[in-house]
Every structure is written in structure tokens, then in C-alpha cells.
Amino acid sequence: MPGPPKWRHRFQGHVSRWTVPREVILDLLCRTSKHLSAKEIYSYLYKSHPGIGMTTVYRTLDLLARMGLVTKLVLGDGQSRYEFKSSDREKHHHHLLCTKCGKIIDYSEFLDEELELIRKTEKKLEKKYNFKILDHNIEFLGLCEKCYVFSEKRSSNDS
């Protein structure tokens, strides 16, 4: 337990020991806005903590996800990605996903209306399907700016 156990209090009731890998992985995720894969996290931490193994990265990410501190994104590119899940509503966001290059854009504008409708829909769905709704995913798929202009050039050349 070297350094200030910045996140220890969060672990009450979830696990019995607050360890270096857990501190460091959570700390990395809360400092970045990127959507990191396990391997990327491993590679990044290797510089400062070469002792941490891949297995522990996976186990810790799974733990953090179960605790609700981290969101696991499964986007179909072969590896899961993880992002810190801030508790304050300001940072709640949804995603734009480029199906060509994999780019991920967070957006949090226009959410007020969106979330209001979601609440209403959730209530109706919970009642109709006897389903306890705990979270939602909203993502828009398409082409980012770069990929779009590229595909336009191609289709004009293919004439």
C-alpha cells in the first residue's frame, strides 16, 4: 500500500484487501478519457509497475466493473474496452462509433431530453416485461469525418 490509498474507501464491503494493482489500475482509468483495452492498460502500467501481470489486470477490471466503478465496452473489435464511470451525472455520456476505423466519440450534449425519454421508456418496459432495468447503452454507428471523406473519394474514383 505505497502512496495515498486514494480509492480505498470505495472498496468497503466489496473486497477485503486494497492492493497496489487495484489502486494503480483504477487511478489510470480515472485520469484518462480514453477507452482502454486490457492490453493497453497492461502496457501503460508496465512502465511504472513492471510486476503487474495480465491476469491481474483482467481480474481487477472485472472487479471494478462489478463494483460499478468502471464500464466495460464490448464493441466487436475483438477486445473489450474499459472506461471510468464517474458518479456525477455531468460526465454521463453516450457514444458515436466509427464502424470503419473504430474511433469512439463521447457525447454528452443533447442528453437532457434523451435521458428524460429514457426514464419514461424504462418505466413502461419494466412494467410490461417485469424487467428490472439498471443501466442503458445508446450508441450511434457510422463513419467518422476521416473515414467518410475517404469513402467519398473512393466512390467518385470508382465511376
Partner DNA sequence: CTTTTAATGATAATGGTTATCATTAAGATA
Partner DNA sequence: TATCTTAATGATAACCATTATCATTAAAAG
Closest CB to Zn ion among residues 55, 79: 79
Instruction: Give residues 21-50 in contact with Mn ion (rule: CB under 5 A).
Output: none
Dig out the grid coordinates for 72 from the structure: 466495460
Give, to the nearest 10 degrees, the angle between helix 20-31 and helix 54-67. 70
Q: Which residues pair with 147 in a beta bridge?
A: none
Confirm or reject binding of residue 137 to a second copy (CB under 8 A). yes
Confirm or reject binding of residue 88 to a second copy (CB under 8 A). no
Confirm or reject binding of residue 118 to DNA (CB under 7 A). no
Closest CB to a second copy among residues 33, 139: 139
Instruction: Give residues 18-77 in contact with a second copy (rule: CB under 8 A).
Output: 72, 74-76
Q: For residue 66, how far is the Cα from the chain centroid?
A: 13
Confirm or reject binding of residue 13 to DNA (CB under 7 A). no
**How far is it, in rounded angstroms, from Cα 80 to Cα 154?**
31
Question: Smallest distance from the beta carbon of 151 to a second copy, in angstroms?
Answer: 9
114: left (phi over 0), alpha (psi -120 to 50) or beta: alpha
Confirm or reject binding of residue 124 to a second copy (CB under 8 A). yes
